[in-house]
Structure 1
Amino acid sequence: MANPWRGEVTLVIDGEPRVLRLTLGALAELEVGLGEASLVDLVARFESAACSSRDVMALVVAGLRGGGWQGTARDLLAAEIEGGPLGAAKVAAELLARAFTPVGEA
């Protein structure tokens, strides 16, 4: 079960609940993977209307890896994600928001 005080979010993949969390390492991996120079640029990318499905997938993968998952984006290509693309996008948005919410405000 996800702990919002730690910035965690749950996403059900292939019927199994998974905890996602954006650790500093996961954020660094996300920056590199998306070619962003800073956290500010990364957040701005997701706040813009130009956010792509690739961006959502990268954020979900980073969150899963921050939650301890050892897979890759390739492992999710055929996975059944609860709520489909919209469900994944909602979880990605919540994950990013929780990563930057001060403790006590989750």
Structure 2
Amino acid sequence: MTSAKPQGLRLAKTSRIELRATEHDRDLLDRAAAALGTDRSSFLLAQGRLAAQRVLADREQFVLDHEGQLEWERINSRPARSLPGLARLLERPSPFR
């Protein structure tokens, strides 16, 4: 997944994120950031962004190979089935009103 901002454009950081950590976790994060030649904030933001994109990837988009796309289209082009039980359920008054 790629960033939506064009290369070379720096967006102003106007929002603050705070978190609590153990000294051990803070040291671990600092060592990892140093290993990549960056600071803790940049490291956490970059790694947090990647983790968030992975979590949301299958909720926002999915990718099919050619055969998968053909199968998807075949399934979605079928006529809708009649489901009498569902029709009866939808005719009943909502218990949440």
With the shorter chain as reference, the TM-score category is under 0.3
More strand by share: 1
- The TM-score, its normalising length taken from structure 1, stands at 0.23
Computing the radius of gyration over CA atoms, which structure comes out larger, 1 or 2?
2
- The TM-score, its normalising length taken from structure 2, stands at 0.24
Higher relative contact order by CA 8 Å / sep ≥ 6: 1 or 2? 1
